[in-house]
Amino acid sequence: MQIKANGINFNYQIDGAQGAPWLIFSNSLATNLSMWDDQARALSGRFRVLRYDQRGHGKTEAPDGRYPFATLLADAIALMDALEIARAHFCGLSLGGATALGLAEQHPDRIVSTIVCDSPCASTPASAKQWEERIAVAKTGGMAAIAEPTLQRWFPPPVYAAKPPGVAKVREMVLSTPVNGFIGCCAALGDHNFRSSVASVSRPVLFLVGEKDPPNAAMREMHKELAGSQFVEIAGAGHISNIEQPEAFTRALEKFLTE
């Protein structure tokens, strides 16, 4: 389905019964709302599940230019307003994980609880340089030049080599991502810092991360800095932990939400 919010058309999908608590899923860079298929199936019996394609991803509009992270946060709030969602649990992975933490910091009145997945929630000079390099590759080679290096970073080597269905699913999503959207969101990831304010979050937070994912260390530190937060590591998983190990991911998510 499509709806206009914050000046562009957003693609979204809603599952679950009317009147159930809202649970919103926000996708990672170079994916789309279908990355949450397993979680939506498992949780739509207890929650009203909203999935949406972030700006520049899936079937959401992909304006030219660099997207400030403030725009991605404003997108999420505008989408909630357009769909008349007063408050919701909010779960995001990577790009979506930073979105989730930013919303918890800046819009606590709209957030019931937050699940930050596989995201350091801040850029560094080194990571900013890497994002600019990826922008340059996408400009010259399109998403075909981005796909395999991305998959090799996101999945542990044995998983990538085994080529399970999850790898093929993610490859398809990466290849179908609009170049404009990839570039715009790379720019956002290259210039953001929600980690420094993590101790200010007043809503319940779960940090959920794959054991083999590089953001693991940063997320452990955020957990230590935020009193009362929870931390769950998914054994053996890489960056796209909800696709790589959907049962373990969903089990941790459901346990947190039902507590």
DSSP 148-164: HHHHHHHS-HHHHHH--
Confidence grade of residue 113 (pLDDT, cut at 50, 70, 90): very high
Give residue 206's pLDDT: 98
**Range of the structural domain that residue 66 is part of:** 2-258
Count of domains for the chain: 1
Specify burial of residue 1 (Cβ count, 10 A radius: 0-12, 13-18, 19+).
Answer: exposed
Confidence grade of residue 155 (pLDDT, cut at 50, 70, 90): very high
Spacing of C-alpha 79 from chain mean position: 16
For residues 38 and 93, what is the distance between their CA atoms, to the nearest angstrom?
Answer: 14
What's the rounded mean pLDDT across residues 1-7? 98
What's the rounded mean pLDDT across residues 132-137? 98
User: Over the chain, what is the mean pLDDT?
Assistant: 98
Give residue 164's pLDDT: 95
The pTM assigned to this predicted structure is: 0.98
DSSP, res 21 = P
For residue 174, the domain's CATH number is 3.40.50.1820
Give residue 259's pLDDT: 87
Is residue 210 pLDDT above 90, yes or no? Answer: yes
